[in-house]
Amino acid sequence: MKQAVKFTFDRQFGEAPASAKRSVEPRPADEAPRAYTEADIAAARAEGYAQGFAEGQKDTAARADENITATLGKLTENAASILSSLDAISGDLKSDAVKLAHETAKRLASASIGVRPETEIEAVLQECLSHLNREPHILLRIAPSMMDRMKETVDRMAMERGMSGRIILLGEPGMEEGDCTVEWADGGVTRDYDAMLARIDTAIARYIETIAPKPAETNALEMPEPAASTGEAQSAPHGDAPGA
């Protein structure tokens, strides 16, 4: 005997509502595949080539910019290094030029004095007589070897200044040829070639210090390295060991 099924009122016997109706439309017939012509293929190739070419150009331009930036950075570093080297070279050249000129001047002066030492003495005496023509007496000290050569010159200069007999010529032992000392009542002046060279050497050395390249300065903010600790090897305090 069949089992009875309870009716649940979920079945509709009337006409289905419009919302429940399914629209049944005929399916369109399958379209035939498109046939590509040679022109279509050529256009596609051209489009792909153009796109690839544009992307290649962008990539090449980006790499070129990177290379240019890197090159400019290296050039800047090299330029700074070159300028620093040029400053050092320029300072060295200036120092060498000053030293060469100084040495040349000393050699020429020594050679000139060796040939005509009386010229230097005449120049000093001439300068003094232009201010001391009213002095009753003037003492001229020179090297003993210069006495004979200078006597006639001193007499002539004294006569030209109206000071005949008022210039006393005296040989000074130990004095170099070309050096001299002029003395008068209230003062005097000395021409000492060696002392003059020493002053010039000092002045030249100071000038060279101002143009010579300076060594690289250390960083003033850099902390000094700590000294080795002296307490690491210290022994324990003297006394009884634990447990003794």
CB distance 162 to 133 below 8 Å: yes
**Cα 193 to the chain's mean position, in Å?**
39
30: left (phi over 0), alpha (psi -120 to 50) or beta: beta
Q: Can you tell me which residue has the tokens 């930036």?
A: 69
Helix %, strand %, coil % of the chain (to 5): 55, 10, 40
Q: What is the pLDDT along the chain (244 residues), one digit of tens a residue?
A: 556 666 565 666 556 555 555 555 555 555 556 667 877 777 777 777 777 777 777 778 778 778 888 887 777 777 777 777 776 777 777 777 777 776 777 677 666 666 788 888 999 999 998 888 788 899 999 999 999 989 999 999 999 988 888 999 999 999 998 899 999 988 999 988 888 888 888 888 888 788 776 665 544 445 455 554 444 444 444 444 444 4
Tallying the residues shown for the chain, one arrives at 244
The Cα 147–Cα 162 span in angstroms is 22
- Whole-prediction pTM value? 0.46
- The Cα-based distances of 87 to 4, 209, 213, 219 in angstroms read 116, 14, 7, 21
pLDDT of residue 18: 55
Residue 194 pLDDT: 85
Please, what are the domains in the chain?
116-211 (3.30.2320.30)
What burial class does residue 178 get, using C-beta atoms within 10 Å of its C-beta: 0-12 exposed, 13-18 middle, 19+ buried?
Answer: buried
CA distances from 178 to 19, 112, 113, 123, 145 (A): 137, 10, 6, 10, 10
pLDDT for position 170: 94
